[in-house]
Structure 1
Amino acid sequence: MKTFFSFIKSTLLGGILFLLPSVLLIIILTKAYSILEKLSEPLSERLPESASGFNYGILLTIVLLLTICFFSGLLIRSAWVNKRISKLENTVLVNIPGYSLIKSITADAVRAKSDKHLLPITIRDGDSWNIGFLVEVGDKVSMVFIPDAPKYDAGEMRVVASENVQKLNISTKDFLKSIKIFGKGIIHHMD
């Protein structure tokens, strides 16, 4: 009975930790949309009403949100802003469960180069190999995260000899899919 309650507890906590970043993103975008909707309302009232009754206010709000995202993207390219964001990530955002993994997946999806990108790897362990993520590279040793399949948000951290780490030629997104199916397809991406 104790094992059953332990299973229920760990499953619920795992679900919460998985959903938290997604829910936070939805809340932030919803809040941003509602703020921009109020700002664009005076402008949308001046736009002509279409014959089909189309609400130009929604379109104006979405365009405004996309414009802000675009200029934020331009702003993030500056060294000063990058330094501030890096500080925020290292002090605050790193405490949000799953943030690093989501950031890595997003960076992989947009093909962004990042030194904080979690790279899919294999780790030699005697006569066998483990799959995982490269967290940090040192001169002689590297920090790796080895996920527990089929979950990728739990696992163990290991310090291993850098010579035992081999990068995989696979996107983070595809790597995570492979972990969900117990590593199927990984061997085709090994050099």
Structure 2
Amino acid sequence: MAKFSIPLSERLPEKVLGFNGSMVLTIFILILICFLSRLMFRSVWIQKKVDRLEKTLLINIPGYSMIKSITADTLGAKSEELMKPVAIRDGDTWNIGLLVEESEKLCMVFIPDAPKYDAGEMRVVEANNVQKLDIPTKNFIKAIKTFGKGIVQHLD
């Protein structure tokens, strides 16, 4: 950016607020690029391209969906694709996991192997055996790493 801004900064005073004119211009151009990028990524056309990229390429990266879900939950994004922490009734016991997908009658859940949260098993269970937990995904992942510590208080 500095190489690009030096010819432009020759038209500016040598010092602007005590800083090198080319440095001030470089910072201004970077801020402008960030602002325009933000506007661009809000467009429907770009969103469709990013979604297609995720569904064709990024989904093949191990753990991508899990990391995306944790990051989105941490940033407070509201999305239907987020994996939500759940407790699954299995007879007289409960398992904890992440809700991947649900319908009226059935749910697809991922049950992680503690203390690793990115390995485990997938199960299809009846929806009436699934209880959503009121806990952020990042806190749920921390609980998995500590073998479930702190989860019991979120069960009914």
TM-score by length of 2: 0.80
Q: Aligned with 1:136: secondary structure?
A: strand
User: 2:3 matched to 1:41?
Assistant: yes
* Identity percentage of aligned residues: 54
Q: What is the aligned residue count?
A: 149
User: 2:132 matched to 1:170?
Assistant: no
Amino acid at match of 1:145: F
Of Structure 1 and Structure 2, the greater strand share is in: 2
The ranges of structure 1 where at least 4 consecutive aligned residues each deviate by more than 6 angstroms after the TM superposition are: 49-53
Counterparts of 2:39 and 2:16 in 1: how far apart (Å)? Answer: 34
Name the structure 2 match of 1:128: 93
Of Structure 1 and Structure 2, the greater helix share is in: 1
Name the structure 1 match of 2:122: 157
Deviations 1:66-104 (A, max 9, x none): 654554444333333323222221111110111111111
Counterparts of 2:62 and 2:51 in 1: how far apart (Å)? Answer: 17
Counterparts of 1:130 and 1:80 in 2: how far apart (Å)? Answer: 41
Rg comparison, structure with higher value: 2
Where structure 2 has 5 or more consecutive residues not aligned to the other structure, the ranges are: none
Name the structure 1 match of 2:27: 60
Contact kept in structure 2, 1:123 and 1:166, CA below 8 Å: yes
Amino acid at match of 2:100: V
Name the structure 2 match of 1:9: none
Query: RMSD across aligned C-alpha pairs, in angstroms?
Result: 2.7
Deviations 1:125-182 (A, max 9, x none): 1111100000111221111100000000100011111111111111111111000000
